[in-house]
A and B are shown apart, each in its own frame.
Chain A
Amino acid sequence: MSNMIEISGLNKEYSGKRVVDGLDLCVPEGELFGFLGPNGAGKTTTIRILTTLTKPTSGSVLINGIDVARDAGKVKKEFGVVQQHLSLNRDLTIAENLELHARLHHIPSAERRKRIADLLDYVDLSDHAGHLIDNVSGGMKRRAMIARALIHRPKLLFLDEPTVGLDAQTRRRVWDLIRRMNSEGATVFLTTHYIEEAEALCKRVGVIHHGRLIALGSPLELRQRLGMVAVEIQENGTTYRYFPDRSSATSFIQDLPNTERVIMRQSNLEDVFIELTGQKVMGD
């Protein structure tokens, strides 16, 4: 399978400070990929470079084989973006926002109308097509942004924190939408602060920290590397210990002097994330 995204040796400096530091990453076609990192790790800068909004200092990015820096005009047809912040035009209705996007992507007017109606139906917004952006809920705005990103049938979707600020029901709805888009063939590049979101959705995740990729693999692989069982010891704050299986965790707990406030549970991707981006770095 060919690669939808190929990042090699990517660097970005802002006034002498390296925000992205020698990033190498490939995302194959059709994958649902999660790009994780703490605040300020370089996620948004990377996405801005991938979506032609920022010029890289050095290195190269290919999207569907097209060089992002050299052929920006051509590459813009290949992807759709749902930005982290609300980027709808608030003077327009939901349908008008979609129409503007369709016009900018040169979709002929007959097809345009059909496509907008289909997409509004897809994200369940047909009843709100004529509403101004400020008059609809946060979840609807988010779905409208997803519909807008899909208008020109992009092969690749960038979703930057697509569920930030949404309630639990709406978030699950957006998750289903993301899975559906992926199963219909779109490659998805997702960033999120909610690690459980990446665990629920992504086939493979990469963790970026201080501009460098420090881990890459499926959520299960990363958990296995850390240990499948977690032990939390709540004493002067919480200490976490990780074990490959329950029996080694159990024997560890039996040796503890005080087991009153000790919890044993399955480890999760969030444990991996915290271990990686906290003080300790696993594996070395």
Chain B
Amino acid sequence: MIDAYSILWSDLAALKRRWPRYILTTLISPILYLVAFGWGLGRGINLNGSSYLEFVIPGIIALTAMTTSFNGAGTRLNVDRLYFKSFDECLMAPVGLSSLLLGKALIGVVRGVLSSLAFLAVALLIAPHIHITLAFLLGLLLCCLTFAFLGVLAALLARSHEDMATFGSLILMPMTFLGGTFFSLSQVPFGLKMALYALPLTHASLFLRAAALDQPLPWVSFLVLLAFFAAFLGGGMMALKRMSV
């Protein structure tokens, strides 16, 4: 556990040096989504009694948490492993594999939480009715954990920087738009709906939205997200075991 913190410590030291720039860049795309979909497209639309703006904000938070956690852990590890080769140094240190895996994922969680909260602060100015409850924060944390471990898993399996980019366009990009973020799943045909329920981001959006709008919490979605988290954690552990002695 202390080893995981040591690894996080080094990533935090790097982040500390440029956090204002990090927060700024990380805010750009969710704010663009908010402006384009929330204000531009969705003005005047009413969904189940709440404005589209209030509907879309939790979705944007979920997708922000997803992208920043994934990239925060995955892209860093990919670069460390394949380009800087500094990951080898961690592998040669007397550190358990589980600590190594956790340490590398934690920076993704930190970055994901930071970005999501920064966007949330902006969103609250526009839509003050959003409820920030314990359940909301819990869902956000789980969402960040899940995608940070997915990032680590992808980075451990990737053979090049392009592999990571491919993974991003093939898996993350469609999920960004389809994972219950911008529209309600109740409006889509049955077959597509089933497919979308197979995506982890869908469950993150559903849970965060229900919490933010003070609706009954879909705990099943929370459990599904937990299962994805466990699967990515297990996959990462297996990939790391295969790679080391």
Once A53-B91, A87-B84 are accepted as A-B contacts, the answer to whether A100 and B6 lie under 8 Å apart by CB is yes
Once A69-B245, A83-B85, A90-B84 are accepted as A-B contacts, the answer to whether A101 and B94 lie under 8 Å apart by CB is no
Interface residues of A in 96-127 (CB under 8 A from B): 96, 100-101, 103-106
Q: Does A225 contact B (CB under 8 A)?
A: no
Q: Does A259 contact B (CB under 8 A)?
A: no
Q: Are A101 and B96 touching (Cβ within 8 A)?
A: no
Q: Does B13 contact A (CB under 8 A)?
A: yes
Q: How far is the CB of B100 from chain A (nearest CB, A)?
A: 9
Query: What A residues does B9 contact at CB under 8 A?
Result: 100, 103
Q: Which secondary structure dominates chain A's binding surface?
A: loop
Q: Are A96 and B245 touching (Cβ within 8 A)?
A: no
Contact digits for A63-84, partner B, Cβ 8 Å, 1 yes 0 no: 0000011001110110001010
Query: What A residues does B85 contact at CB under 8 A?
Result: 83, 85-87
Q: How far is the CB of B161 from chain A (nearest CB, A)?
A: 16
Q: Are B94 and A106 touching (Cβ within 8 A)?
A: yes
Q: Are A68 and B245 touching (Cβ within 8 A)?
A: yes
Look across to chain A and name the residue whose beta carbon is closest to the beta carbon of B11.
A91
Q: Which secondary structure dominates chain B's binding surface?
A: helix
Q: Are B80 and A81 touching (Cβ within 8 A)?
A: no
Q: Does A52 contact B (CB under 8 A)?
A: yes
Q: Does B89 contact A (CB under 8 A)?
A: yes
- B interface, size bucket: 20 to 34
Interface residues of B in 1-51 (CB under 8 A from A): 2-3, 6-7, 9-11, 13-14, 17
Q: Are B91 and A87 touching (Cβ within 8 A)?
A: no
Once A96-B13, A103-B9 are accepted as A-B contacts, the answer to whether A87 and B88 lie under 8 Å apart by CB is yes
Q: How far is the CB of B93 from chain A (nearest CB, A)?
A: 4
Once A72-B245, A83-B85 are accepted as A-B contacts, the answer to whether A104 and B93 lie under 8 Å apart by CB is yes
Across the interface, A87 reaches (CB within 8 A) one of B11, B17, B86, B94, namely B86
Q: Are A96 and B10 touching (Cβ within 8 A)?
A: yes
Q: How far is the CB of A83 from chain B (nearest CB, A)?
A: 7
Q: Are B10 and A89 touching (Cβ within 8 A)?
A: yes
Q: Does B194 contact A (CB under 8 A)?
A: no
Interface centre among A74, A83, A96, A103 (most CB of B within 10 A): A103
- Give Cα A53–Cα B245 distance, bound, in whole angstroms: 6
Q: Are A101 and B89 touching (Cβ within 8 A)?
A: yes
Q: Does A250 contact B (CB under 8 A)?
A: no
Q: Are A73 and B94 touching (Cβ within 8 A)?
A: yes
Q: Does A92 contact B (CB under 8 A)?
A: yes
Q: How far is the CB of A140 from chain B (nearest CB, A)?
A: 17
Query: What B residues does A106 contact at CB under 8 A?
Result: 2, 94
Interface centre among B2, B93, B95 (most CB of A within 10 A): B93
Query: What B residues does A60 contact at CB under 8 A?
Result: none
Q: How far is the CB of B149 from chain A (nearest CB, A)?
A: 21
Q: Does A55 contact B (CB under 8 A)?
A: yes
- Give Cα A52–Cα B89 distance, bound, in whole angstroms: 11
Q: Does A216 contact B (CB under 8 A)?
A: no
- Give Cα A113–Cα B140 distance, bound, in whole angstroms: 37
Q: Are B6 and A53 touching (Cβ within 8 A)?
A: no
Q: Are A76 and B94 touching (Cβ within 8 A)?
A: yes
Look across to chain A and name the residue whose beta carbon is closest to the beta carbon of B13.
A96
Q: Does A192 contact B (CB under 8 A)?
A: no
Query: What A residues does B90 contact at CB under 8 A?
Result: 104
Query: What B residues does A86 contact at CB under 8 A?
Result: 84-85
- Give Cα A88–Cα B85 distance, bound, in whole angstroms: 8
Across the interface, A104 reaches (CB within 8 A) one of B6, B13, B14, namely B6
Q: Are B6 and A52 touching (Cβ within 8 A)?
A: no
Contact digits for B69-107, partner A, Cβ 8 Å, 1 yes 0 no: 000000000001000111011111111100000000000
Q: Does B244 contact A (CB under 8 A)?
A: yes
Query: What B residues does A55 contact at CB under 8 A?
Result: 245
User: B residues within 8 Å of A by Cβ?
Assistant: 2-3, 6-7, 9-11, 13-14, 17, 80, 84-86, 88-96, 244-245
Closest 6 CB pairs of A and B: A91-B14, A103-B6, A104-B93, A76-B94, A100-B10, A87-B85
